[in-house]
Amino acid sequence: MNKRTALLATVIAATLFTAPLFAATATSDLAVNASVAANCLISTTAVAFGAYDPLTLNATTPAGDLAGTGTVVVTCTKGAGTSIALGLGLHASGTTRQMNAGGTDNLTYELYQTLGGLVWGTGASGLTIAAAPSKAARTWTVYGNVLGGQDVAAGSYADTVVATINY
């Protein structure tokens, strides 16, 4: 290949593979965003006291007190959750929690944050909890106690307490 042919081939290649003189580029940033709302879920398992016998086993207090446990399970967005409150129940008399069997007798009980410790209250007197370290469920035990020495009629006593997570 002579020099003239080589030069011609180089010019042709440069013409074919070079960007046109009028080509240009421009850029812009594309914003991407999302929001995550604080959210919590709450569920419970019942405090089951079992059988209460006012004549023998549960005739006196505190020896005859009847204990039971349940749970409160809270699942929150990471960083959410401040306190768990338990209501007084459907049959409360003032601040005294009571179960009822549909008659005039009530079986008095209490719910605690710790075994025999602090009463699990409503609103601001509920259990203060740390902010959720992750979205994993966290479980708290609810300790219950039915006072011995109560004079009540036979029946199936029950109450419903509302559990609330504040976040």
Instruction: Output the CATH code of domain 40-166.
Output: 2.60.40.1090
Task: Render pLDDT for 25-83 as a digit per residue (tens, 0 to 9).
Answer: 999 999 999 999 999 999 999 999 999 999 999 999 898 999 999 999 999 999 998 89
Q: Average pLDDT, stretch 98-117?
A: 94
What are the sequence ranges of the domains in the chain? 40-166
Token pair in block for residue 39 = 């959210």
For residue 148, give the nearest of 47, 49, 45 by alpha carbon: 49
Model's pTM, two decimal places? 0.80
3-state secondary structure of 7: helix
Strand 106-112 and strand 97-100: pairing? antiparallel
10: Cα within 13 Å, side-chain hemisphere: 7
